[in-house]
Amino acid sequence: MAQLPQKISVAIVGGGIAGLCTAIGLQKHAPHLEFTIYEAAARFDVIGSGVAFGPNALEAFTLIDPALREAFDRISTTNQLETKKDTWFEFRWGQDMEYKNGKAKTGDLISAVQCHEGQATVHRARFLEVMLPLIPHDSVKFRKRLAYIKNVGDAEKTRLVFKDGTEALHDVVIGSDGIKSHVREFVDHKSKPGFSTKYCHRGVIPMEKAIAVMGEERAGTNTGYLGKHGHIISFPVDQGDAVSVTLFKGERIWTAENWVVETTREHIAQDYKDWGAFVHELIPLMQDTSIWAVFELVDNPPSTYVRGNVCITGDAAHASAPHQGSGAGMAIEDSYVLSALLTDVKDTKDISRALRAYDAVRRPRTRRFQTSSRDAGLFWEFEHPDFGVDVDKMKPIMQERMEWIWYVDLQKEVEMAKDLLETF
Ligand SMILES: Cc1cc2nc3c(=O)[nH]c(=O)nc-3n(C[C@H](O)[C@H](O)[C@H](O)COP(=O)(O)OP(=O)(O)OC[C@H]3O[C@@H](n4cnc5c(N)ncnc54)[C@H](O)[C@@H]3O)c2cc1C
């Protein structure tokens, strides 16, 4: 009896937002491909903080698979007050300051950035939980930490070697293994993450406690508090039952080997000693007292996202400081574009052309995003050389700096990539 031709096999390394969205995208747009996700963790962790998504990410969910968008909509949260549904973030003073001829007071409104298509937030771990049932249970292999990639060639399979000594062979490898990516080492070993000059404290606190500190309007609305060499982001999650809070602080260099280190509440309070009283009421509510150093791939980015039949997506390719709240959004865009380009790959010899087209359209946009995210960190902390603390000058730019991120035509990006593909 004649044997059926073998399906093209795809390894997705990393089961974070990027890896899972790509798997769902492949299932929808390239069902003729067979995929396996290799995830280092034993399970998806139940802890985690909030993550916010703008219109570009919401659109990408729908394009990947309307079922993904439905799953997201079921658990996502928007600003609690009807009057704030079109607000992306309200920016307020985080500390009392002399400003021009008067005094700026903690909590006073600086500007509200509007986002008419809306923005929605989720608790990160819950989102992974609702994504998982959208793919076959046996397509995810937990406790599989990639050690390195051994060989590659257009005509041969790529060998993945795991820390536990096992190996796997696949036709395509998609590295979605985060900022410390081992797949990136294979694609461009010279690219290395660097410290972004910011660290943060993160927590999710019950809504009633957040209201007691910030008041109902601010606790229920995406809010950024700006101050000198620091900024604080808070937004409602869990359908309004809780508030995700992240306190950012500037630091010139990071000397610790670990990127997450323990500290004390007293140390955190010291960091914000010149800030408004509300910060000092928030700090005791943060269950976790770790400091998270924010690393990025800005100074030493990969020179390409593709080598042969291996590519990188999400933070593995373009980890950025989170100051525009869109790093995961970029990862989701990658997932859509990549899975749409793999739709037409029916033979292993077509793989590397499709991946090169992915690289050609995704690298310029995500590179721009990375540099603009770093710039935003300076902007929100009154360190930007062009603006300093001049919030009147900053106001029009606040809106402008987000619009190119939100209003992207992803289907056009795929068309452009397909046109390019013909030329390779
Ligand atoms: C403080 C902070 C706040 C943020 N807020 C936002 C926000 O509001 N909105 C937004 O859009 N973005 C935000 N981001 C950015 C966003 O979190 C990331 O861009 C996004 O999580 C990247 O997803 P990823 O799947 O590429 O990587 P990751 O989330 O890092 O996932 C990588 C996965 O790969 C696995 N893995 C790692 N190494 C290996 C290996 N060797 N073998 C197998 N598996 C491996 C990991 O266990 C993990 O599951 C924020 C980032 C930070 C730091």
Give 93-158 as a DSSP string: ESS-EEETTEEE-TT-EEEEEE-TT--EEEEHHHHHHHHGGGS-GGGEE-S--EEEE---BTTBPE
Mean of all residue pLDDT scores within the chain? 93
d(CA 291, CA 294): 9
Q: Is the CB of 329 under 6 A from ligand 1?
A: yes
User: Would you place residue 151 in the very low, low, confident or very high pLDDT band (cuts 50, 70, 90)?
Assistant: confident
Q: How far is ligand 1, taken at its centre, from the CA of residue 178, in Å?
A: 5
Indicate where the chain has its CATH 3.50.50.60 domain(s): 8-77+121-193+298-382+405-423
User: Would you place residue 262 in the very low, low, confident or very high pLDDT band (cuts 50, 70, 90)?
Assistant: very high
Q: How far is ligand 1, taken at its centre, from the CA of residue 176, in Å?
A: 9
d(CA 273, CA 262): 19
CA atoms within 13 A on the CB side of 203: 21
CATH class of 82-118+195-296: alpha beta
Indicate where the chain has its CATH 3.30.9.30 domain(s): 82-118+195-296
- Total residue length of the chain: 424
User: What burial class does residue 422 get, using C-beta atoms within 10 Å of its C-beta: 0-12 exposed, 13-18 middle, 19+ buried?
Assistant: exposed
Q: Which residue in this structure is represented by tokens 């990006």?
A: 413
Looking at the CA of residue 144, tell me the nearest atom of ligand 1: 43
Q: What is the pLDDT of residue 351?
A: 94
User: Would you place residue 58 in the very low, low, confident or very high pLDDT band (cuts 50, 70, 90)?
Assistant: very high
Pocket perturbation via mutation, ligand 1, pick of 142, 246, 315 by most ligand atoms within 8 A of CB: 315
Q: Is the CB of 17 under 6 A from ligand 1?
A: yes
Q: How far is ligand 1, taken at its centre, from the CA of residue 393, in Å?
A: 33
User: Would you place residue 119 in the very low, low, confident or very high pLDDT band (cuts 50, 70, 90)?
Assistant: confident
Mean pLDDT of 278-286: 94
**CATH number 3.10.580.10 is the correct assignment for the domain at 8-77+121-193+298-382+405-423:** no
d(CA 135, CA 153): 29
Q: Is the CB of 122 under 6 A from ligand 1?
A: no
Q: Which residue in this structure is represented by tokens 């007050």?
A: 81
pLDDT digits (tens, 9 = 90+) for 326-376: 999 999 999 999 999 999 999 998 999 999 999 999 999 999 999 999 999
d(CA 320, CA 18): 14
Model confidence at 206: pLDDT above 80: yes
Q: What is the pLDDT of residue 143?
A: 97
User: In this structure, are strands 242-250 and 230-237 parallel, antiparallel, or unpaired?
Assistant: antiparallel
Tokens for 89, please give them.
């973030």
Model confidence at 14: pLDDT above 90: yes
Beta strand spans in 2-74 (E): 8-13, 33-38, 50-53
- Tell how far CA 272 is from the center of its chain: 26
Q: Is the CB of 20 under 6 A from ligand 1?
A: no
Q: Is the CB of 54 under 6 A from ligand 1?
A: no
Pocket perturbation via mutation, ligand 1, pick of 58, 177, 254 by most ligand atoms within 8 A of CB: 177
d(CA 352, CA 169): 16
Among protein residues, the one with the nearest Cα to ligand 1's atom 41 is 146
Amino acid (one-letter) located at 408: V
Q: Which residue in this structure is represented by tokens 């914000």?
A: 272
Q: What is the pLDDT of residue 156?
A: 77
Looking at the CA of residue 179, tell me the nearest atom of ligand 1: 30
Cα distances (angstroms) measured from residue 194 to each of 297, 317, 320, 344: 6, 14, 10, 37
Q: Which residue numbers are catalytic?
A: 202
Q: Give the residue among 363, 335, 361 at the shortest CA–CA distance from 57.
A: 335
